[in-house]
Amino acid sequence: MKLILPSVCLVPLLLACKQPTPNSDEQALAFEDSLTSGSQIGLQPMEVALTLDDGPAPESLPLAKKLRDLEIPVSYFMIGVNIQSHPQVTREIAELKFTTGAMAGKPATIIANHSWDHKRKNSEIACIACDGTEYANMEITKTDALIRGYVTQANKPFFFRAPGGNFFRRDVPEEVKSLNEINKDLSKYIGPFFWDVSGDVEPVCLKESAEKCGDYYMGQIRRKGRSHGLIILAHDIHEKTRTMLLGDGKYPGIIAQMKREGFKFVHLDKYPAALSKFGNVPRNEFGEISFKANRVADKTYNFDVKVKGASKIEVFIDRLQQPLFSGAGNTLQSKQAITTGGQRIFVIKGFDASKKQIAQGSRSIDLPY
């Protein structure tokens, strides 16, 4: 199977595809229901998370190893057909660990979902969900089957980015608004992710040199990165992009420039507490949590909760803003009447004596009607 090389700039309404600063309507459509900024996932000023889309290609692995050696964490949003064509490349990228520095021994990469083939059933509609629930479900689940083995490390959530960054659009009559509505089985995913900085597949870079494209990136990074954290998008399948990132001897590349100017490279999942706001994701948890629910009568349950090191525990049900129950200490027992059955999501939070959150986890339980 051939490597799929999508042209992101063919997607209508994509951020900065025709001009560096889109108008507010375009921006609203492109950002609709997406994680659009590093600050939303907790990234601090001068922190950047590098994301590379559309691979893997054979050329992806040498780049991944060089970025690892430079101590650069990277999230790879991969296309299913390319994973299928290059399973060994995918495996080696997924298994990369830092060998030097403060992160030595820790994973250097995150493998994420970028749909099956980056195509749309209706090419005139610029969003994956606008082609219907069944189609979007297929695009996500086929790739999920290939990557799930690469994101089973402790506390590593599953990430999704829609083709072109557009998940749904409010000007298209489609009611799908979240990943959970696409497929309840995929509630483990956080996303869809957008970005703060991009450009390597836009007209501003397509006809220019790697250096001029890098200058365009650095302009955005300097302008935005001192006020909030940044998600940076590039595409490792393109030679010019690889040169833009690492340089070519005469040109230093944007990685070296960012390091020299004090920017810090971090993973997308550096701040689990911030990420957890965007979905009930079982793998997106931190701290040590035990949660048990026992039915003691019709619509009545006893709950036993333990959070290591906690001075206070709060338990929420579904997405309600107020706790279902809470209490002091690192253990909590409570009897609750749950009048609505079906699949219910319980979110457990633990706090230390200074009220700092030290744990969060989600548990999905099917309650009988």
Distance CA 349, CA 310 (A): 9
User: Which amino acid does the sequence have at 238?
Assistant: H
pLDDT at 132 (0 to 100) = 75
Query: How is domain 285-367 classified at the architecture level of CATH?
Result: Sandwich (2.60)
Q: Under a CB-based contact definition with an 8 Å cutoff, are residues 107 and 270 in contact?
A: no
Q: What is the pLDDT of residues 270-319, one digit of tens each?
A: 887 777 767 654 444 678 889 999 999 888 999 999 999 999 999 988 76
pLDDT at 184 (0 to 100) = 58
pLDDT above 80 for 93: yes
Query: Nearest-5° angle of CA 34, CA 283, CA 318?
Result: 65
Going by C-beta distance under 8 Å and a sequence separation of 6 or more, which residues neighbour residue 150?
90, 91, 94, 111
pLDDT above 90 for 334: yes
Cis peptide before 203 (omega within 30 of 0): no
CB atoms within 10 A of CB 298: 7
Q: Under a CB-based contact definition with an 8 Å cutoff, are residues 132 and 181 in contact?
A: no
Q: What is the pLDDT of residues 170-221, one digit of tens each?
A: 566 555 556 666 655 566 788 889 899 999 998 889 889 999 999 999 999 9
pLDDT at 123 (0 to 100) = 64
Q: What is the pLDDT of residues 53-68, one digit of tens each?
A: 999 999 999 999 999 9
Q: Under a CB-based contact definition with an 8 Å cutoff, are residues 128 and 167 in contact?
A: yes
Provide the 3-class DSSP secondary structure of residue 279: coil
Q: Are strands 109-113 and 300-307 parallel, antiparallel or unpaired?
A: unpaired
Going by C-beta distance under 8 Å and a sequence separation of 6 or more, which residues neighbour residue 324?
315, 316, 317, 336, 346
Distance CA 163, CA 169 (A): 13
| Token digits of residue 140 | 């996500």
pLDDT above 80 for 96: yes
Residue 29 region by backbone torsions, left for phi larger than 0, else alpha for psi between -120 and 50, else beta? alpha
pLDDT at 36 (0 to 100) = 72
Q: What is the pLDDT of residues 235-273, one digit of tens each?
A: 999 999 999 999 998 999 999 999 999 999 999 988 877
Distance CA 94, CA 101 (A): 19
> Which residue from 268, 301, 323 is spatially nearest to 41, judged by alpha carbons?
268
The listed CATH number (3.40.50.970, 3.40.50.800, 3.20.20.370, 1.20.1440.130) that belongs to domain 8-275 = 3.20.20.370
pTM: 0.70
58-67, 143-152, 177-186, 354-363 — which one is most confidently predicted on average? 58-67
| Token digits of residue 316 | 């929420």
Give the single-character DSSP code of 16: T
Q: How confident is residue 1, by pLDDT bands cut at 50, 70 and 90? A: very low
Domain residue spans in the chain? 8-275, 285-367
- Which is more confident, 317 or 98? 98
CB atoms within 10 A of CB 106: 12
pLDDT at 340 (0 to 100) = 78
> Which residue from 325, 331, 251 is spatially nearest to 289, judged by alpha carbons?
331
